[in-house]
Structure 1
């Protein structure tokens, strides 16, 4: 059986990535291209894989809970986030079982709104730079030599706070020409300011050369509760936001789950279809959950197409959202209790996300065995020996054999 790759995710496999879909800041979880164990003893495995994934979306549809606030579009008061990320990823295969991955996201975001600029005219804020770098180690839990049709892969890593989590830009105050400098909205900050623990669980099962199934689970634990960055857009925080605990930005956990099938056709094309959920919980597993966050989730259908060769793969994945839900945060609950009136904030979501990427496999050079020169003998023989017999059968040589 020929070798083929586990296309799942983070874009096909193939990629394991969670993505932001607007004001719910589900940040990139990377785009690791982790190769499936070879099903052939003769197949050569890559030593390195490098990938680059381009991701873009535009969020503008507001939801409170799972109810779309259509009046925002009708009134022209919607918030519009445009986000572009270039995920650079390197995977080092240590052996058939172990691999390590490093992901570096490069981010460019813009955010257009009315309410952040005095509710007079629409203006934009921007953010650029490197996001939070992720380092992850992966291991197949079952022996790849024995379990060729299916296996489970565990990942454990760390997210470093390399991205700027207090990026500043100018906000208009509503007074003609007057601007203030302050931190941009949480949804377009390149980083979150916390050291996180990455946990992953991925698996596949192949029915034959053409059909296989995959699933991916990822949970990012962020123990830090808040990062101290103001949510007042360069102004003085309101007394109410201080009371509710929404005056500073939270450092939330995030999660992702995927399930689907891969179909290989024409040998080099792989079509993947499945569903995924990306989200931010209202409460973290470790540490406190206070501070401003927009918890919620996005459930999407996820078609993808991959063209692959031995050394290169290109892939296109377009998750299409069919359910979006902005759930109640801890400050929302505090506000509801204090005011005796149920409150839930809103969030803007995208309709779809475009992921376009390429991956390159680098193979370790195969060392060819050194050529050995054949040994040539020169016989010394007496009169009873015939020349033609010695090279074929040395026992017939009556004289001595000397190696040249």
Structure 2
């Protein structure tokens, strides 16, 4: 039983942290927009225990897609847009009971964007953004308890994303033949926030399928009812002049296996779909956005020693699609279809360290 509990904790920890690693690029899927490391923790932590984690991620996006067609000439001609993103997510989760957990999550970001078209279209320059992202708080509840959860469990969660990240960050652009320095708002893909208050609906589950193997599944949808955020895009088309505040989604499933002979070691392999819809489920969808989705295969490895767990996940893109946006449709004519492009990453690296803090027993019990 003790081994089963440890293996389950390892599997749930991997599930929790890998959910947050979001593939990204010019399609502005926000950093760690799920509820965070509370997912997978409430079923294992005892009442009153804490889990503190720090998750680092990195990606480089540079391959351009219009629909699902890759425009390989962009890289060959040196006209591609290159985004680099470094993110650090700080999470604190707390178990109110065996089944109820809460989470507070604060992301920090450092972004670079290198391009020609945003400057004088001849020389490549880089813009930057850094600082806090959009903070999230949430809670979740496991549907089964006690012996009913012996083989597995499913949790549902609700959260709120607050617009704490700068959604009008600026950097220096170089315009004209004389490369005049001009302070302007950076591209939507490297803004630190989206300016909207979002509602996050979350689910996740883990079931033993034999021995030390588990089936996992999880996902979320973030509703962003706000229409636009008032931030200039610096684009020429009137209906694309202001940034949109888009919804976001992700769904994952796969298999996790722990190695009994190497105590604390586990691996996983699964698939994931994530993206930004063309239209929001609630509220307007005006302004500029780059909708699209990514289908990835996601290998991972984790190692638990005592109360500390390290997890590495590397989602690798299999299919990328920059879908036609609302403004693309509005700007299209019978003679000419408008369909914007977006740059995507080939893979994403996400590494997490988590520290489980057991509840201390009263001194009177320690002496017994």
Say which SS state the counterpart of residue 352 (structure 1) adopts: strand
Structure 1: gaps spanning 5 or more residues:
373-404
Match of 2:263 in 1: 267
The structural deviation recorded for 1:147 is: 2.2
Contact 1:269-1:306 at 8 Å conserved across structures: yes
Match of 1:385 in 2: none
Distance between the aligned counterparts of 2:90 and 2:79, measured in 1?
A: 35
Matched, 1:359 2:364: no
Matched, 1:16 2:22: no
Matched, 1:32 2:44: no
Matched, 1:248 2:254: no
Distance between the aligned counterparts of 1:36 and 1:167, measured in 2?
A: 36
Q: 2:89 aligned to 83, 87, 90, which one?
A: 87
Match of 2:280 in 1: 284
Say which SS state the counterpart of residue 344 (structure 1) adopts: coil
Between stretches 12-21 and 188-197, larger displacement belongs to 12-21
The structural deviation recorded for 1:208 is: 3.9
Distance between the aligned counterparts of 1:335 and 1:365, measured in 2?
A: 62
Say which SS state the counterpart of residue 115 (structure 1) adopts: coil
Contact 1:18-1:256 at 8 Å conserved across structures: no
Distance between the aligned counterparts of 1:287 and 1:132, measured in 2?
A: 20
Match of 1:402 in 2: none
Q: In the superposition, relative to structure 1, how do residues 213 and 6 fare at CA in structure 2: closer, same or farther (>3 Å)?
A: farther
Contact 1:56-1:354 at 8 Å conserved across structures: yes
Contact 2:98-2:145 at 8 Å conserved across structures: no
The structural deviation recorded for 1:20 is: 4.4
The 5-angstrom pairing of residues 304-323 of structure 1 reads 304-323=300-319
- TM-score, structure 1 as length reference: 0.85
Match of 2:128 in 1: 126
Q: In the superposition, relative to structure 1, how do residues 99 and 307 fare at CA in structure 2: closer, same or farther (>3 Å)?
A: same
The 5-angstrom pairing of residues 316-355 of structure 1 reads 316-337=312-333, 340-355=335-350
Match of 2:56 in 1: 54
Contact 2:65-2:341 at 8 Å conserved across structures: yes
Q: In the superposition, relative to structure 1, how do residues 322 and 7 fare at CA in structure 2: closer, same or farther (>3 Å)?
A: farther
CA displacement 1:67-114 (0-9 Å, x = unmatched)? 100000111000000000001110011110100001100000000000
Distance between the aligned counterparts of 1:247 and 1:164, measured in 2?
A: 18
The structural deviation recorded for 1:180 is: 1.5
The structural deviation recorded for 1:142 is: 2.2
The structural deviation recorded for 1:286 is: 0.3
Distance between the aligned counterparts of 1:193 and 1:11, measured in 2?
A: 30
- Bigger RCO of structures 1 and 2 (CA < 8 A, at least 6 apart): 2
The 5-angstrom pairing of residues 131-142 of structure 1 reads 131-142=133-144
Distance between the aligned counterparts of 1:7 and 1:344, measured in 2?
A: 44
Q: 2:221 aligned to 219, 222, 231, which one?
A: 219
The structural deviation recorded for 1:292 is: 0.4
Between stretches 315-324 and 340-349, larger displacement belongs to 340-349
Q: In the superposition, relative to structure 1, how do residues 363 and 119 fare at CA in structure 2: closer, same or farther (>3 Å)?
A: same
Q: In the superposition, relative to structure 1, how do residues 10 and 350 fare at CA in structure 2: closer, same or farther (>3 Å)?
A: farther
Say which SS state the counterpart of residue 205 (structure 2) adopts: strand
Distance between the aligned counterparts of 1:148 and 1:9, measured in 2?
A: 14
Distance between the aligned counterparts of 1:345 and 1:9, measured in 2?
A: 39
The structural deviation recorded for 1:340 is: 3.9
Structure 2: gaps spanning 5 or more residues:
none
- TM-score, structure 2 as length reference: 0.93
Match of 1:380 in 2: none
The structural deviation recorded for 1:14 is: 3.9
The structural deviation recorded for 1:144 is: 4.0
The structural deviation recorded for 1:175 is: 2.5
Runs of 4+ in 1 over 6 A off after TM superposition: none
RMSD over equivalenced CA pairs, Å: 2.0
